[in-house]
A and B are shown apart, each in its own frame.
Chain A
Amino acid sequence: MNKMEKALHELSEMDDLAAQSSPIHRLHPAAKLLSTIAYILLTVSFHKYDLTGLIPMLLGPVLLFQLSGIPVRTCFYKLRIVLPLVMAVGLFNPFFDRAPLLQLGPVAVSGGVISMLTLMLKGVFCLMASFLLMATTPIDSLCAALRKLHVPGLLVTLLLLTYRYVGVMTEELAVMTDAYHLRAPGQKGIHVSAWGSFLGQLLLRSMDRAQELYASMLLRGYHDHFHYAGIRPFRLPDGLYLVGSILAFLLLRFVPVAALLGSLFVR
């Protein structure tokens, strides 16, 4: 299996995860979406030095992962390519902010190190929450929920079609890569001299496909308005989850849980 096929396989695994059944899977997609947005906003709102305050925010996703039956390790495995990028965000902070902020025994920890760790954790927590949303909600339901929340139709259609065609384009890329390697034996990767024509070909193929796809939409009555899958009505348990989860996240955000727990042991 080459890299592209592996990517396709992983994409289809996301659909399998979303098709499972658990209390979290069964929730209304709008409830999950709003709860995730609230979680992300509250997580990023922590001050750059508030590392201890941020850590309890992990409880939210961990609990929801347990309830959804999706192992946390699956999340880290699927996000293995994005995670290093997120981790790299605050990498230069220790060089710019060298003022000592706290003393751990003989070691003085600078503000840069704390802010780097805070940034990294914020990124990881937000990714976990987003992954959980994607892994428990089929894309069509998610798009239908976005439209219910009055997100512009064009953006939602773009999201839907991108998701649908990322696999098809990956297949195209896999075919092109295979064709290249069959005529360039022993070469590792694609030589830089071929990058231009490679991307150009891919772009042309994408445009051809896009034109035909648009024709197919027009021929089936499309007129600037997309109809999404019918989603069930928003019920009481969905509302309870939404309110409950947001309250819990607010609690974790504004009550210094870590400090309170610490005060039980340290005077």
Chain B
Amino acid sequence: MIEFQHVSFAYEKDRPVIRDLSFRIESGESVGLIGANGAGKSTVMKLLLGLLPCEGQILVDDTPVTKETLKTIRRKLGFVLQNSDNQMFMPTVYEDMIFAPLNYMVSREEAEKRVDAVLARLGLTELKYRHNHKISGGEKRMAAIATILAMEPEAILMDEPTSALDPYNRRVVINTIRELSQTKIITSHDLDMILDTCDRVLLLSEGQIVADGPAGEILRDQALLESHRMELPLSLSRRD
């Protein structure tokens, strides 16, 4: 369970990015966080992960996100960054995947088993010993997801998981996300992907939630989307 209680945040004084934000996400939910550029989507993610300080309270499984609880909280949350190059900092896919389990004191043997299981599940076994700087963008994105799955987190946060991917790789990533059983919070401008992968949508505008409801309902509301500088997903828009 993830809960924001009256959370506010500003990068610069008097220019709040997040304003009195409150919402609750239950375990197992798949939530799309959408909004125009600068709406505060990525900031919400960073606040949840304790990367930025804030006013108000954020709870993960009833534990408040504070400096003292960060280690416990971060173990529960896996974050897939928008830029996979920043996520995959080790020389090979294998070392990147084993990085988190070893940091969390999982034995090397158990960690290796996890790595192999995740790679097999995602059909990426052949990438195991490949160098991160030598794999394609699509492979890198899938490998980035694999590094997070090897952590066995309770919730997965994804920042623009389908950006800069070709249609095939985009579909591969979408199918992978759909198969994940964990709680998911996904920020994206790719509303078709959100429609495909999320049950619920939070529409963020100027640091506040302006709509919260079933994905199918919100993403069909053309007037609502357009009033917040967004458009209907391509799959739902009328073609003349």
Contact = CB atoms under 8 A, between A and B. Distances in A.
A209 interface: yes
Nearest to B81: A216
Give the interface SS of chain B, mostly helix, strand, loop or mixed: helix
B227 interface: no
B52 to A, nearest CB: 10
A167 interface: yes
B133 A167 contact: yes
A164 B79 contact: no
A50 interface: no
Nearest to A220: B100
A161 B92 CA distance: 12
Interface string B89-114: 11110110011101110001000000
A32 to B, nearest CB: 17
Give the interface SS of chain A, mostly helix, strand, loop or mixed: helix
A73 to B, nearest CB: 24
A216 B89 CA distance: 9
B95 A212 contact: no
Contacts of B170: none
B91 A221 contact: no
A138 B12 CA distance: 45
Nearest to A208: B86
A216 B144 CA distance: 11
Nearest to B70: A218
B144 to A, nearest CB: 9
B83 interface: yes
B102 A227 contact: yes
Interface of B: 46, 49, 51, 71, 74-75, 77-79, 81, 83, 85-87, 89-92, 94-95, 98-100, 102-104, 108, 131-134, 147, 151
Q: Which 8 A-B residue pairings sit nearest by Cβ, starting from the closest?
A: A221-B103, A220-B100, A227-B102, A212-B86, A167-B133, A140-B91, A221-B104, A216-B87
9 contacts: A140-B91, A140-B92, A160-B90, A160-B91, A209-B86, A212-B86, A220-B74, A223-B103, A229-B95
